[in-house]
């Protein structure tokens, strides 16, 4: 099966050059779910590009009759982030001009949905699929206003044009997968949303973090929050409903690196998810026995991040993937001074038990810089 | 009168060097208001440093009997911002590590004050000065919790330590003045808050912008919002009260520059404000006749910012300080391309009437970059 | 007359997007000189783009019979530099990845021409035009080796590919004009080379600086140095010869700005140069009477740059374009400290007489940053 | 033995804060050689700080009678580099303001020594130690002129003040050790100079690279080149002489990291070098048997660096430390496009045999970025 390949102009630079997106659209013979997969929203988080490359290669071998619905893939989905450098480092986590995290800029309908209860009441007796269509229609109508603003004489800051284009591709998806990694050094895991634990297991990753707290305006959040809000609203009215709408952020290892194991887990997870969801059929892939597979779940609010209480050099840091106990020494700082004294070493201890899931890529710290994340 | 000069360690860098703040505290013989003045919170906005230098020089000539209360001055209040460079440019508007605007990081008690109505009710019959002290006590108590977090093993990101130190100096001030300028090219004006128009006029600037909308967590906002909230709450309960607490952000011209006229207006404004408020006496300064002075007021929500709808070079832009009418051409973009065509010029027109109060320092634009601000 | 417009792929970015150059080639009916004009090699130096835009507009109105030879124009000739930002500043003076000044990367045949004396001897009796062709053939042959290296498996750093493309367009030009400005705040003037003073006057600028000292590997230098070297070599052998080959760098005002007066002087200068050289005919432009025009010439080695001896804020700086005498105060630094003392003001005095031709755009200085340039 | 600790002001920042160096000077009871050791000249290259920390700890345990001569240690020797960040990355390889590599700025007397042959002739019959003193006196006299320039009204760019201070500490050393690492991912090895192979072995590292080609103005080069030049000059006059002056750059692993093994090798190497040179005695350290130790030597000119011929994502790269054969595939690029085509994978092959000693930390490449270094 060959994809339709669409190239979408994204930004005209001062030099007249144009940066674009390219979408690979695989469409099955039978209609079904729309799956949207992107990678590299943060410049340093590149492993997902290799995952998408392998998924494209794989889908080329799949027969169109075995794809139910459609799969859209957008690798290198943020050229401004991907191409940015500071010396040899991939510094593209933030929009340099606006100082915004590229993954905290998205349009979240929930924030505008003042009359959600009224809407929920009006939809109360309707079939879930009709509710879904009605709600999506409203979301799309509000979303269209963003384009009006873009087309004004006063226009909008780039991040607002960028979000418009990415979200216009994914707004009507059923399943949305955003492939990230740590911008530092991280494990393979995923972020998931309320009530989606069972689906989370389909990715066969070791653990998942529930976004029980939001950062605000992240790509996955902005997509699913309006649906979760409507579910909650209907539930409060007495109707238990769950839309077959899911959003996932997969974290695949370490920044600036394409770790083979992380790529393998990403590809395996996405394939298994798509097969389990019935999007792909007869792939010849044997689904591994999952019943005995253990997945470990935690809440975002359980994360404890450690910042350096002094400037200096980090050493003897506990390894990524370790389990720590409260009171364990988790790292040291060699602390230099300019006041005529000998350098000294400071010990830092764990405040809570947990798993080391993220460590700073840089072992030199100014006071207040990130060192280690434990969950 | 000589000041007490206090040096406060702010951040230990990886190299062991320490960046500090220095506070110049002038204290009068008679107790009275506390005035807090800082400058250069954004790295490129340096004019206020010259204003504070002249204020220090001036206060050295003032007799301690003529100062009622105290004046604290903190020039170059953000060394991380002041010292940062990108090539020869003063790029210190944002914390590079955290990608946060240095003026959107402050602790705002209002956001934590869940029980404000209860508190207001409890204070309803009390004398305003007692209410002020009671409220300040509560604010300080909550604020102290920030220090506990700083002293934890997990510590905090630098912006949270930085805000703690700046706010610990200013939390109990009566009058707070934050000296800024445009990071681009701007006029001289001030930002003020609800119900403080009369005091605004004391600065003798040409115009003022009411912060009827908040950006969130700015230094001036974080200081005064809790008081405005309490005022509003008491008003809703039926008591009309206004605390003699004021916060001002003065905008003094253009980024990276110390324009003599902007410095003069800053110094003149602050002096006149302090004399009019009774903080300074017998200064020998003749207060100019203000009755005929016109000050022009606008709302923040009236600001219309124009962003480039295409990449290219800006030319024929209408000058800073001009009045424009809807439909006037306000700038052009010379638009180059890489598609084999001749370059072309695009005209951009004003969407509303207004005053050009801010223009981009850079006339080269990538699509979606700021060009002109009109109010 | 319409140009041939050629688009040349320059660099594939990590995202797959391609940055390109676009050349506007106006070719006359009659053969003659080749003129090569580019702009914006340094990201902040944008005035030349407006000059080229106006030249293109003008040449569209010229009849092909009135152009003798050809004119190639390359605006925004360095997309990497043009599009780079640090916050709102145009920080593109250097290749961030390699930390190289975009105008100190060019290939200079003179550095490889070990046997120039032997070649000069061999050409001694030949006609100047034949010598020119023979020498150019050798230069091109050596230059072609750069492409071999680019096409190797090990390839080359980007600056070496970039220089190859720009120089392949201009290597065989007769007249080369590189449109710059200050990256700070500068006057309008030009840089010229040995023995080209008379031609320099054709640009009608107020002053010119002879490159009697080289920075090394600048675009203009790399183009003309081999020819100057051959001229010198032949002269030493007893033959006085001057090739009709010229290179010019025009400095048109201030960084990040398109000052109308600078653009006007740039357009006027280039037009007059082309008419005077016989490249353009019957343009209907009246050449102003130049005989009484005074142009002021200085040597590059006469430049005295002043760097801040202390950190702080620059004020009272003498204005761009002023004449100073030895011992004049040229600027002050407001010098803050973190050692418990009052701030102080330091006066800086001129070491030599001269003209203030360049001043720092930023009036905040860390110790050792540039403040003022005098010639 | 306790060191004398000297703190040296280095730079006053715009904020008034001062960055300093701190030198730990251990002085033996008996006079002897002066050893100068510094670390972290490049911001990301931090392993040497841990080495110096351990050396300080070790020297505190050594008796002053067991140190013959003196050892000066300067950790975090470049605060501007150490403290700089781009997002979370240690981007301090270059002076951002001047776009200069912090290790290509040093003063090299050889470049000014026009009359070296005359000097060599005058010293021909003298005792080597007298020659050393005479030459050092001349070098110091020329070096002192740098200070005159620094103290002028026009002052100097910061890199010139910085080099002055670092070199004033080390100019009269006998042994100079500069502790670096890769700014990317590198092996442990050292750079050495002509005729110093036997001493190189004292560091017990696996391999060494002879600087048979110079980058220009590096710290080690600038220190030793004048002595090598004098040696060569005397040799040409017929006197074979070698000064007991040595300069070393140790490369200890990967940027932004403090790899325990790299630190161990650094500490062990320096200790063994100092013991073998007789600077340290009776340390209780058993020197390992070196006779059977193999050290592998290569020339700098044998280095082959590979740059990406296309933009994209690097995968399947051969591992650091591998031996490759000509024609081996050394890495792949996943190459995306914006022209409507499927992504593709490009194979890159080795041009020569060799050892992979350096690999890019970032596996995302814009065209022309560094990927792999083979020697």
Structure tokens at C182: 């200050």
Whole-angstrom CA distances from D188 to D35, D74, D295, D306, D308 are 21, 21, 12, 20, 25
Point out which residues pair with B179 in neighbouring strands: B39, B250
Chain C CB contacts of D343 under 8 Å are: 16
Q: Report the pLDDT value the prediction gives residue A283, as an integer from 0 to 100.
A: 80
Q: Which residue of D has its CA nearest to C11?
A: D367
Indicate yes or no: CB of A158 within 8 angstroms of CB of B94. Answer: no
Question: For the residues B23-42, what does the mean pLDDT come to?
Answer: 98
Instruction: Please give the angle made by the CA atoms of C275, C280 and C282, to the nearest 5 degrees.
Output: 95
CB contacts of C88 in chain B (<8 Å) are 93, 183-184, 360-362, 369-370
| pLDDT beyond 90 at B291 | no
Considering only CB atoms, A155 lies closest to which of B11, B94, B309, namely B309
Question: In this model, does residue C340 exceed pLDDT 70?
Answer: yes
To the nearest whole number, what is the mean pLDDT of chain B? 96
Which tens digits make up the pLDDT trace of C87-140? Answer: 899 999 999 999 999 999 999 999 999 889 999 999 999 999 999 999 999 999
Q: Which chain C residue's Cα is nearest to A17?
A: C19
Residues B288 and B308 in one domain: no
Q: Over the range C66-88, which residues count as b (16 or more CB within 10 Å of their CB) and which as e?
A: bbbbbbbbbbbbbbbbbbbbbbb
Residue of B nearest to C5 (CA): B340
Q: Who has greater pLDDT, C287 or C154?
A: C154
Q: Domain end: A301, A332, A366, which one?
A: A301
Residues C261 and C296 reside in one and the same domain: yes
Q: Does C156 touch chain D (CB under 8 A)?
A: yes
Range of the domain at C188: 4-301
In chain C, residues with a C-beta closer than 8 Å to the C-beta of D366 are 11-14, 97, 158
pLDDT at D291: 60
Closest of A314, C367, A183 to residue D80, by C-alpha = C367
Residue B97: which of D17, D82, D88 has the nearest Cβ? D88
Give Cβ neighbours of residue B327 (< 8 Å, ≥ 6 apart): B349, B350
C-alpha D271/C-alpha D287 separation (Å) is 10
Contacting chains of B (3 CB pairs or more, <8 Å) are A, C, D
Which CA distances in Å does C175 have to C71, C220, D286?
Answer: 9, 10, 71
Q: In a 3-state reduction of DSSP, which class is residue D329?
A: strand
The C-alpha R_g of chain D, in whole angstroms, comes to 22
Higher pLDDT, D215 or B374: B374
Q: Which of A104-108, A246-250, D286-290, D318-322 is the least confident region?
A: D286-290
- State whether C162 and C243 are in the same domain: yes
Nearest CA in chain B to A373: B154
Which residues, listed in sequence order, are joined to residue B18 by a DSSP beta bridge? B12
Mean pLDDT of chain D: 96
Is residue A321 within 8 angstroms of chain D, CB to CB? no
| B-chain residues near C363 (CB < 8 A) | 46, 256-258
**Contact criterion met (CB < 8 Å) for B15 and D76:** yes
Give percent of chain B above pLDDT 90.
95
pLDDT tens for D106-121 read: 999 999 998 899 999 9
* Chain A neighbors of C19, CB-CB under 8 A: 15, 17
Cβ contact B97–D76 (<8 Å)? no
Residues A278 and A360 in one domain: no
- CA-only gyration radius of chain C, Å: 22
Contact criterion met (CB < 8 Å) for B75 and C336: yes
Using CA atoms, how far apart are residues B148 and B142, in angstroms rounded to an integer?
Answer: 11
Q: Which chains neighbour A (Cβ–Cβ under 8 Å, 3 or more pairs)?
A: B, C, D
| Confidence band for D294, pLDDT divided at 50, 70 and 90 | confident
Query: C15 and A76 in contact by Cβ < 8 A?
Result: yes
- β-strand D207-210 against B370-374: which pairing, if any? unpaired
| Mean model confidence pLDDT for chain A | 96
Q: Return the structure tokens found at C352.
A: 């030599």
Same domain as C228, residue C166: yes
Co-location of B328 and B272 in the same domain? no
Query: pLDDT higher for A269 or B284?
Result: A269
Are C274 and C335 within one domain? no
D253 with D315, same domain: the answer is: no
Q: Which tokens belong to B65?
A: 């009997």
Cβ-based burial of A339 (10 A; exposed 0-12, middle 13-18, buried ≥19): exposed
Q: Are residues D275 and D327 in the same domain?
A: no
The answer to whether the Cβ–Cβ distance between D340 and A56 falls below 8 Å is: no
On chain B, the residues whose CB falls within 8 A of the CB of D96 are: 85-87
A96: buried, middle or exposed (CB in 10 Å: 19+, 13-18, 0-12)? buried
pLDDT tier at A286 (50, 70, 90 boundaries)? low
What is the total count of domains within chain D? 2
Q: Which residues pair with A190 in a beta bridge?
A: A208, A250
**Cα D246 versus chain centre, distance:** 12
**What pLDDT, in 10s, does the model give residues C183-194?**
999 999 999 999
Question: What number of other Cβ atoms are within 10 A of residue C318's Cβ?
Answer: 17
How close is the nearest chain A Cα to the Cα of B167, in Å? 18
Q: What is the pLDDT of residues B139-178, one digit of tens each?
A: 999 999 999 999 999 999 999 999 999 999 999 999 999 9
CA–CA min distance B338, chain C (Å): 6
CATH number, position B338: 2.40.50.100
Is there a contact between D14 and B76 if contact means CB atoms under 8 Å apart?
yes
Last-in-domain residue among C301, C324, C339: C301
Q: CA D324 to CA D355: how far, in whole Å? A: 6
How high is the pLDDT of residue C337? 98
Q: Check if the beta carbon of residue C55 is closer than 8 Å to that of residue C73.
A: yes
- Cα distance from D160 to chain B (closest Cα, Å)? 17
Q: Chain D contacts of C347, Cβ < 8 Å?
A: none
For D166-184, write each residue's pLDDT tens digit: 999 999 999 999 999 999 9
**CA gyration radius for chain B?**
22
Confirm or reject contact between B14 and chain D (CB < 8 A).
yes
* Res B285: pLDDT: 74
**Partner D contacted by A12 (CB < 8 A):** no
Nearest to A351 among B99, B153, B308 (CB): B153
**Paired tokens of B144:** 């102290």
Alpha helix segments (H runs only) across chain C: 47-60, 79-83, 116-123, 128-150, 158-170, 197-200, 219-236, 260-276
Least confident of A317-326, B191-200, C121-130, C290-299: C290-299
Q: How confident is the model at residue D286 (pLDDT cuts 50, 70, 90)?
A: low
Q: What is the pLDDT of residue B283?
A: 80
Phi then psi dihedrals of residue C149, to 5 deg:
-65, -40
Check B96 against D76: CB less than 8 A apart.
Answer: no
Q: How far is C246 from chain B (nearest CA, A)?
A: 28
Chain C contact set for D101 (CB, 8 A): 99
Closest CA to D366 of D315, D308, D304, D316: D308
Distance from CA of C284 to the nearest CA of D (A): 45
Residues D329 and D192 grouped into a single domain: no
Asked if B47 is an interface residue toward chain D (Cβ–Cβ < 8 A), one would say no
Give the model's pLDDT for residue D114: 87
Q: Which residues, 6+ apart, have CB-to-CB distance to C105 below 8 Å?
A: C95, C159, C160, C162, C163, C217
For residue D310, CA distances in Å to A13, C79, C96, C153, C371 come to: 21, 17, 18, 11, 41
**Given pLDDT bands bounded at 50, 70 and 90, which one contains residue D282?**
confident
Could you give the CA distance from residue A107 to residue A143 in angstroms, rounded to a whole number?
8
- DSSP label at D214? -
- Residue D91 maps to which CATH number? 3.40.630.10
Model confidence at C215, pLDDT cuts 50, 70, 90, reads confident
Maximum alpha-carbon separation in chain A: 77
Q: How many other CB atoms are found less than 10 A from the CB of residue A148?
A: 8
* CA distance to partner chain C, nearest, from residue A174 (Å): 27
Beta bridge partner(s), residue C178: C38, C249
Confidence of residue C249 (pLDDT cuts 50, 70, 90): very high
Instruction: Specify the pLDDT at position C291.
Output: 60
Look up residue B7 and give its DSSP letter.
Answer: E
Average pLDDT, chain C: 96
Interface contacts (B, D; CB < 8 Å): 55
Which chains touch C (3+ CB pairs under 8 A)? Answer: A, B, D
Mutate to test the interface with C, among B78, B338, B365 (most CBs of C within 10 A): B338
Residues 6+ apart with CB under 8 A from D276: D202, D287
Q: Is B89 on the interface with A (CB under 8 A)?
A: no
φ and ψ at residue D316, rounded to 5 degrees: 50, 35
Mean pLDDT of B27-45: 97
Average pLDDT estimate for C50-56? 98
Residues B213 and B296 reside in one and the same domain:
yes
What pLDDT score was predicted for residue D287? Answer: 66
C83–A17 CB contact, under 8 Å: yes
> Which among A267, A286, A301 is the end of a domain?
A301
Q: Check pLDDT > 90 for residue B292.
A: no
Q: Is B5 an interface residue toward D (CB < 8 Å)?
A: no
Query: What residues of chain C lie within 8 A of the CB of D17, using their CB?
Result: 311, 338
Task: Decide if C364 touches B, using CB distance below 8 A.
Answer: yes
E strands, D15-126, are: 18-27, 30-39, 68-74, 94-95, 100-101
pTM of the predicted model, to two decimals? 0.97
- Which chains have at least 3 CB atom pairs separated by less than 8 Å from chain D? A, B, C
- Work out how many CB contacts closer than 8 A connect B with C: 153
φ/ψ region of C280 (left if φ > 0, alpha if ψ in -120 to 50, else beta) reads beta
Q: How far apart are CA D175 and CA D224, in angstroms?
A: 10
Q: Which two tokens stand for residue B115?
A: 């029980």
Decide if C305 touches D, using CB distance below 8 A: yes
Whether C16 and A97 lie within 8 Å, measured CB to CB: no
Nearest CB to B338 within list A16, A304, A307: A16
CA distance A121 to chain D (A): 46
Alpha helices in chain B (DSSP H): 47-60, 79-83, 116-123, 128-150, 158-170, 197-200, 219-236, 260-276
Q: Enter the tokens of residue A330.
A: 């988790």
- D289 — pLDDT class (breaks 50, 70, 90): low
pLDDT tens, residue by residue, A32-80:
999 999 999 999 999 999 999 999 999 999 999 999 999 999 999 999 9
Interval A77-106: pLDDT, tens: 999 999 999 989 999 999 999 999 999 999
Does the beta-carbon distance from C83 to B366 stay under 8 Å?
yes
For residue range A138-172, list pLDDT tens digits in order.
999 999 999 999 999 999 999 999 999 999 999 99
Is the pLDDT score of C262 beyond 80?
yes
At residue C294, the pLDDT reads 86
Are B248 and B336 part of one and the same domain? no
Contact criterion met (CB < 8 Å) for B97 and D82: no
Mean pLDDT of D190-208: 96
Instruction: Tell me the β-bridge partners of C29.
Output: none
Would an 8 Å CB–CB cutoff place A94 in contact with chain B?
Answer: yes
> Can you give the pLDDT at residue A287?
66
């Amino acid at each position: 099966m060959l994809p339709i390949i669409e190239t979408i102009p994204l930004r005209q630079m001062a030099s007249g050059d144009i940066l674009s997106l390219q979408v690979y659209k695989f469409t099955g013979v039978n209609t079904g779910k729309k799956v949207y997969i992107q990678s590299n929203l943060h410049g340093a988080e590149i492993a997902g590009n290799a995952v998408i490359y392998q998924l494209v290669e794989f889908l080329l071998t799949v027969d169109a009759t075995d794809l139910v619905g459609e799969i859209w893939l957008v690798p290198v989905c943020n050229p401004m982030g991907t191409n940015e450098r500071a010396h040899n480092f991939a510094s593209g986590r933030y929009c340099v001009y606006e100082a915004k995290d590229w993954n905290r800029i998205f349009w979240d309908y929930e924030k505008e949905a003042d009359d959600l209860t009224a809407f929920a009441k009006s939809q109360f007796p309707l079939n879930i699929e009709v509710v879904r269509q009605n709600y999506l229609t409203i979301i799309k109508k509000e979303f269209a206003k963003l384009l009006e603003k873009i087309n004004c004489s006063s226009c909008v800051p780039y991040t607002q044009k960028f979000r418009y284009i990415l979200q216009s591709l994914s707004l009507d998806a059923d399943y949305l997968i955003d492939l990230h990694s740590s911008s530092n050094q991280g494990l393979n895991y995923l972020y998931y949303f309320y009530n989606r634990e069972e689906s989370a297991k389909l990715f066969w990753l070791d653990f998942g973090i529930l976004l029980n707290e939001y950062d605000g305006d992240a790509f996955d959040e902005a997509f699913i929050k309006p649906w979760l809000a409507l579910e909650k609203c209907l539930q409060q009215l007495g109707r238990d409903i769950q839309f077959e709408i899911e959003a996932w952020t997969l974290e695949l290892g370490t920044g600036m690196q394409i770790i083979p194991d992380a790529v393998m887990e990403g590809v395996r997870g996405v394939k298994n998810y798509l097969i389990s969801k019935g999007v792909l059929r007869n792939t010849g892939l044997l689904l591994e026995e999952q019943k005995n597979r253990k997945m470990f779940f935690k809440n975002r609010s359980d994360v404890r991040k450690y910042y350096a209480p002094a400037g200096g050099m980090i050493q003897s840091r506990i390894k990524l993937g370790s389990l720590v106990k409260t009171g364990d020494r988790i790292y040291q700082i060699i602390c230099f001074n300019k006041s005529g004294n000998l350098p000294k070493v400071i010990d830092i201890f764990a405040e809570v038990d947990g798993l080391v899931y993220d460590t700073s890529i840089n072992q030199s710290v100014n006071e207040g810089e990130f060192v280690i994340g434990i969950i």
